[in-house]
Amino acid sequence: MKRLTDGTWVVVADGRKAMVFDTEVAGGTPMLHVREEQAQFNPPDRDQATDRPGSAGNRGDGTGSSMEETDFQRQGKERFATDLADWLYHRAHEGAFDRLVIAAPPVVLGAMRPALHKEVSDRVIAEVPKTLTGHPVPDIARILAADLAEAD
């Protein structure tokens, strides 16, 4: 059953910020209550890079190749996703939640999925591939409830 019920945890993340909510369903309408917020400072690539990308040396035949520039933003988002997965593991191990919904952009979900311990992944009832961190909390609850109702 993929719907928000009392006590379901909802994680809304975007690679820099995560909000963790407890769900309370009153009169059929889910309400989200902030349990915790996490944030990571991840400046733009131009502020993290110190040089132009390097290049491989000339092989003697006049050819060489330049190396791909490091995507520090993506690395930061992936690191944040794995840190969040680790935090969720510790909370699951403590028995803090039984059901979990994760809403995040596809790149963040993709980084989190392999990092989720079985103890967490067994409790995930739904993944919502959307960026919701900029929405007001009541809108997040409404959007998630609608998406989960469509998935049922």
What are the per-10-residue average pLDDT scores of the chain (152 residues)? Answer: 90 92 91 88 50 55 58 69 92 96 92 93 96 95 92 72
Find out whether 30 and 141 touch, Cβ atoms under 8 Å.
Answer: yes
Computed over its alpha carbons, how large is the radius of gyration of the chain?
19
What does the chain come to in residues? 152
From CA 30, how far away is CA 9, in angstroms rounded? 12
**First and final CA of the chain: distance in angstroms?**
7
Q: Which domains does the chain have, with CATH numbers?
A: 9-39+71-151 (3.30.420.60)
pLDDT at position 42? 46
From CA 17, how far away is CA 12, in angstroms rounded? 8
- Enter the pTM of the model: 0.77
pLDDT at position 66? 56
From CA 110, how far away is CA 125, in angstroms rounded? 16
